[in-house]
Structure 1
Amino acid sequence: MLDRIKASLPSLAPAEQRVGRLVLTDPRAFANLPVSELADRAHVSKPTVVRFCRSMGYDGLSDFKLKLAGSVSEGVPFIHRSVDVDDKTGDVLVKVIDNTVAAFLKYRNDASTFAIERAAEALASTHKTGKRIEFFGAGNSGIVAQDAQHKFFRLGVNTIAYSDGHMQVMSASLLGPGDCVVIISNSGRTRDLMDAADIARKNGATTIVITASGSPLASAGQIHLAADHPEGYDRYSPMVSRLLHLMIIDVLATCVALRIGSKLQPLLKEMKNNLRNKRYA
């Protein structure tokens, strides 16, 4: 959570930057002090403190302080450890799993429920009106986009995934008001994805971005689901970001399924029964 605030500081208004620096200076105190005291220490108004929390993707000051307190008190019990060339199989097993667990626990502490709820509502509303839902990603994130399409397809959602930059730009050009596009990127700096996001947004479509805080793509999307992970570049072990993105998609798909409601159950049951014929007894 503190890493995300630090990365987002340059994109904030000057007054909100002062609130952000106050959080980074003493997060424990920020989580416990009343809003009037926080405003005095940051030399801003009380509404500015609340605006800062919402700018970071939280549902006001109470939600922000709750997540901040959890992040500071629980922390993350593991740090990212790179796989070394002379590691034994047991070392690799522990490091790869610990790195993944660290990223997941960090996300659990930092995740903005407000942003996730906005994204789930946008996707569910788009599905309800029969408009288009599309997933864009490039390279590794393109595989995550395909996984997202598969998960939402199973829910009866009419959706498609594109990993080719030309197809993304062409498809974004055909989107309009009521449509929704989810753009996935680890770096948040891929030119093709930025171009597609800009086109979709200008055409009136809702843009949801799953990417790193402080990146250009994070600012380009209407709804930002922050995917920040404590890893460096490791030539041997798989990218934790891929697993983190997959988990965020799982959370979104589950939230949308709950919004679709009870009518989804017969559909999933019929699908499961039909698949039985594809398996050996």
Structure 2
Amino acid sequence: MSLTDQIQRTLPSLPAAEQRVAQALLADPRAALARTVAELAAQARVSNPTVVRFCRSLGFAGWADFKLKLAGNLGQGLPYVHQSVAPGDGSRAVVDKIVEQVQQTLADFRQQAGLRPLEQASQALVRTIRAGRRIEFYGVGNSGIVAQDAQHKFFRMGCHTAAYADGHLQVMGATLLLPEDCVVVFSNSGRSRDLLDATELAHQQKATTVAITASGSPLAAAADIHIAADHPESYEEYSPMVSRLLHLVIVDILATEVALQLGPDLPARLHALKRNLRAKRYRNE
């Protein structure tokens, strides 16, 4: 049964306000994919929490989780490439569709981001840095590239860091962790066996584990701190584009929060790095 069929079947049993949400969705499901919670609530003439309650009535964690399922049901996009782009699209359409989806995903994250997990993660990272201990970043596939980007940003701040995209190295690294260490794990789906194994090992070592992944996933449940990275992109059918960019933005947020907490010594250290790196550039004639 498709999601739209499920909504139709559930409609009579929903409270009146949630029925208006359902009717707004059924009127144009594809248009709903581009809307935020606030925009859909305004269209249905209900409050933002009513939209979230509607999603939960259908068994979803929230609006982002619901949109992910809806996008998969509608079967839009070019399989294994991008969710919004269709065969026959020209360059103008490709640019517009990809940029619009990125903008919408980041706008949704800005509106729905859980500030408490971000604060907890940045505080855990700062504690590790001040203790002179180790921060490790894990990811596989495209998430491994994000882990490398995170390692680079924190390395620049003078932290003891490592990034592993290989499952065997992740197991080795997690086994050698100590209680004051911290591990940040990136995953689009939150269902990678390698990452779950490494997170469990890090937990056994009493290191702090931070997962940047989808809500309701096994990895989200396994970590000490979960930063929700929800988006409408189906990880089963499309190449991770929007999800990768969302993860990179979260890395930037954490790195900035950590830099602010580390205090006035950090800018001087970064200035010294920039000064020494200038020697690696060709000078203008």
| Other structure's SS at 1:224 match | strand
Offset of 1:155 from its aligned partner?
1.0
Offset of 1:232 from its aligned partner?
3.4
Alignment partner, residue 223 of structure 1 = 225
The alignment covers a number of residue pairs equal to 217
CA distance in 2, matches of 1:168, 1:245: 19
Alignment partner, residue 97 of structure 2 = 95
| Other structure's SS at 1:182 match | strand
Offset of 1:231 from its aligned partner?
2.2
CA distance in 2, matches of 1:83, 1:236: 11
CA distance in 2, matches of 1:202, 1:94: 47
More divergent stretch after superposition (226-235 vs 88-97): 226-235
**Gap change, CA 1:268 and 1:30, over 3 Å in 2:** closer
TM-score by length of 1: 0.71
| Other structure's SS at 1:277 match | helix
Match of 1:260 among 246, 259, 262: 262
Give 2:183's aligned amino acid.
V
Confirm or deny that 1:194 pairs with 2:211: no
1:228-267 superposed matches below 5 A: 228-232=230-234, 239-267=241-269
Alignment partner, residue 119 of structure 1 = 121
CA distance in 1, matches of 2:243, 2:187: 9
CA distance in 2, matches of 1:141, 1:262: 32
Confirm or deny that 1:137 pairs with 2:139: yes
Offset of 1:102 from its aligned partner?
1.0
CA RMSD of aligned residues (A): 2.7
Give 1:273's aligned amino acid.
R
Contact 1:115–1:225 at 8 Å: present in 2 too?
yes
**Residue ranges of structure 2 left out of the alignment (5+ in a row):** 1-13, 22-40, 51-60, 64-75, 78-82
Alignment partner, residue 273 of structure 1 = 275
Give 1:145's aligned amino acid.
A
Confirm or deny that 1:166 pairs with 2:168: yes
Contact 2:180–2:208 at 8 Å: present in 1 too?
yes
TM-score by length of 2: 0.70
| Other structure's SS at 2:159 match | coil
| Other structure's SS at 1:82 match | coil
Offset of 1:205 from its aligned partner?
0.4
1:6-17 superposed matches below 5 A: none
Contact 2:233–2:240 at 8 Å: present in 1 too?
no
Offset of 1:237 from its aligned partner?
6.7
**Residue ranges of structure 1 left out of the alignment (5+ in a row):** 1-20, 33-55, 57-67, 69-78
Give 1:151's aligned amino acid.
K
